[in-house]
Structure 1
C-alpha cells in the first residue's frame, strides 16, 4: 500500500499552486501542517498511571475538489513526509484489504501506522460505507491519522445512490472524523493543452501496435468481456509491464457494470502512466449521457479526464 509510481517523487515543494486559485496555496500549507501533526501524534500520547502511554486520537483531513487540482499530489506528499509504518491506497483497494484479511486483522495490521492515506474516497453501497466507517473510527481511536481525497464532501458521499437511514447515519459519522479542506481550480491535465487526439483508423492502429515493444492490442468488446471475468483488484496485475495500450473499435459502454469496470481500468492505467491509443469512438464518448446524469457521474468524469490525458502521452516505437 504505497503511492503509484507517478507520485514516487512528489513533495509539498513540487506542488505549484495556481495563482488564480488561492485555495491551492492554502491546501499546500494545511497539508504540510497535517503531516507535522501526524508525526507529533505518533510520537506523543498521554502517560497513564503506570507509566504506559495511551495513544492520542488520530487527526483527520479530507481534501475535496474537482478533477486534476492536485489532491493526490498532496496526499502522496503527506505520505512521504510521515513516519513509517504508513499506508496509501484507493478506497477500493482499502475495502479489498479488509476483505482479504478480515476486519479484526485489518485493524491490527493498520493500527500501528502513523497515517492511512485514502485516495478517491467513494461509497458505492451501504455495506462498504458501514465497513469503512467502523474501520476508520477504530483506527482513529488507536492513534492512526487519516487523510482522504474525493470529489464529494463527506456529508454528500453516496448522494444520489442510496437513501437508507442507516447509510445516512454512517455518512455523518465519517464526516465527523475529518477536517474538510476545499481545493479549487481547473483540471491541470488539460489546462492550456490542445484537444485530445482523435481516434485513428483500425488498420493504422494495428500497424502502430506492431512497432512498440510491450504494447497490447485488443478489441474493445473483447477487453470488456475479459474484465468481467476478473475481480477489479486484479486489474493492476493486468497492466504490469505494459508500455502502451491500443484499443480497436471503441464505443459507448453497453451498461453500468461494464462502465464501472472501465473506470477501475482507467485508474490503473493512469497510475502506471501507460499511453492509450484507440480506433472507433472518442475516449470521451465511452460513458453515455444517461450514465453521466446518474449517481456515478463523478467517477465517469474522472475516468474520462484520465483517459484523455493518457491519449496525449508519447509512445516510443521499438
Structure 2
C-alpha cells in the first residue's frame, strides 16, 4: 500500500467486468497498490481462470420449497447432477504471509462471473461441515453416512468455492476432507485457495498422515499450484507503522485501536467467530481474516488454558486487545492467564496491539508473583520492537 488510501478504500474502487488482471492494474495505476511482478503474474493466472469460468454452471438448480433454508435442503439430501467432466481446473496460491494472496483472491472473487459462488475462511468452512455432520447424524443416526448429503448441500450452494488460509491441523478434518472433496469435484465444484503451505506439505509430520495422502493427490490433480514469491511483506509494512501499546486505556486509546483494526483489515468491525478446541468452543468477539479483536476479559477473564491460547495463536497472526488492567495478587487468576496468553503469542510470533492501564513493566509491580511477571513485561516490550514486528507468524 502506498499513500493515504486504506485497504477498505482499495476495495471500494470499482471492479471491472474484464476480470481480475485489469482490476489489479487499475489499483496499481491509482496508487492503491505497488507494482509487484509476482502479484501481476498471479493476477494473469487468475485472469485465465476467470475466462474459463465465465457463466460456469455445472448443473441446473432446482427451486427450493417455500420456507426452506440450507438446513432443510441439507436434510432433504437433494441429489445434485454430476458434472459433465469438463470443470475448469482450480488454483491454489501458496506464499508467505503478507504477500497479497487474499487481496488477489478477493479481486478474482469479486469479478468472477459465476452464478453460485462463495468465499470463506477455510477454518470456518470446516466448522460448518462439522456442525452439518452433527445435525445429520442427530437426525439419521450415527451409522448414517453424512458425506454424500454434505457434498450435495455444499455443491447446491456454490459451484465456485474460494478458501482463504487453507490449512489442515486437525485429524478429524483430515479424515473428512478426502471423501468430501472427491464428491465436490465430481459435482463440478471449482476450488480457489490461498495458503502458507504447499499441498504436498499439508498435515506433514502429523499422526495419521498416510491416510491423508489421497486427498493431497486429489488436490494436485484438481487445482494448479501457484507460488506467489513476492519479496515484499505488505502486511508487515502496515503494522510497522502502527503504535502497538496505548496507555492509558481510555477513549483515545480505544480510537487508536479502532484505527489499527481498520488499517490491518480494511473493515471497521469484524464478525464474531468461534474456534473449536478439544470439543469446546472459544468465542472470538471480532475477527477479519487473520486479525482478531477482543477485550481483556474475553480472553483472560474466562477459564481458558494453554490449548485454547495455542489454537488462538496459530489461527490469528495479530491480536488487537482492549483494556489490559493493572494486575496483582487480587486478580492473579486473570494475571496468570494473561501470562500464558502472552507466552503463546510470543512463541508463535503473533503481533499484539493493545490498550492498557500502564506500560508493561508497571502492570504488575507489587505483591506475590510480581517477579514472575517480569519476563512477561520483557516480552511485551520486545513485541513492540520493529525486529519482532518483522518476524513471520508461526502456525
Q: Tell me the TM-score normalised to structure 2 length.
A: 0.53
Change (3 A) 1:130 1:40: farther
Question: Which of 270, 273, 286 is matched with 1:239 structurally?
Answer: 286
SS at match of 1:158: coil
The aligned counterpart of 1:161 is 206
Closer, same or farther in 2 for the Cα pair 1:278/1:140, shift >3 Å? Answer: same
Quick check: 1:138 aligned with 2:168?
A: no
CA offsets 1:69-92 (integer angstroms, 9 cap, x no match): 111112222222222211111111
Once residues 189 and 160 of structure 2 are traced to their aligned partners in structure 1, the CA distance between those partners, rounded to angstroms, is 5
Aligned Cα RMSD in Å?
A: 4.5
Residue in structure 2 matched with residue 294 of structure 1 by the alignment: none
Once the two structures are TM-superposed, the CA of residue 42 in structure 1 deviates from its matched residue by: 2.8
SS of alignment partner, residue 121 of structure 1: coil
* SS of residue matched to 1:190: helix
Q: 1:200 to 1:117 in 2, by over 3 A?
A: same
- Structure 2: runs of 5 or more not aligned: 1-7, 61-81, 134-146, 259-274, 288-292, 326-337, 356-382, 385-395
Aligned to 1:88: 119
Shift of 1:152: 0.7
Contact preservation (8 Å) 1:63, 1:71: yes
Report if the CA contact (8 A) 2:95-2:195 is conserved. Answer: yes
- Residue 222 (structure 1) aligns with: none
**3-state SS in 2 of match to 1:42:** coil
Supply the distance in 1 between the matched residues of 2:204 and 2:40 (Cα, whole angstroms).
29
| Residue 189 (structure 1) aligns with | 235
Structure-2 change in CA distance of 1:260 and 1:245 (3 Å): closer
Match of 2:109 among 75, 79, 83: 79
* 3-state SS of paired residue (2:120): strand
- In structure 1, the partner of 2:44 is 29
Q: 2:154 aligned to 88, 103, 110, which one?
A: 110
Q: Report the CA distance shift for 1:6/1:90 in structure 2 as closer, same or farther (over 3 A).
A: farther
Matched, 1:39 2:80: no
Q: What TM-score do the two structures reach when normalised by structure 1?
A: 0.64
Equivalence map 1:159-238=2 (5 Å): 159-162=204-207, 164-185=209-230, 186-191=232-237, 194=240, 196-201=242-247, 204-206=248-250, 208=252, 231-232=281-282, 235=284, 238=285
3-state SS of 2:163 partner: strand
SS at match of 2:54: helix
Q: Which residue of 2 aligns with 1:261?
A: 312
Matches within 5 A, 1:300-315: 300-301=348-349, 304=350, 307=352
Q: Rg: which structure is higher?
A: 2
Q: Highest relative contact order (Cα 8 Å, sep 6+), 1 or 2? A: 1
Aligned residues: 262
Question: How far apart are residue 106 of structure 1 and its match?
Answer: 2.7
Q: Within 2, Cα distance between the matches of 1:206 and 1:227?
A: 33
The CA deviation string for residues 206-249 of structure 1, in whole angstroms up to 9 with x for no partner, is 5646889x9xxxxxxxxxxx9979625x53xx339xxx75548x
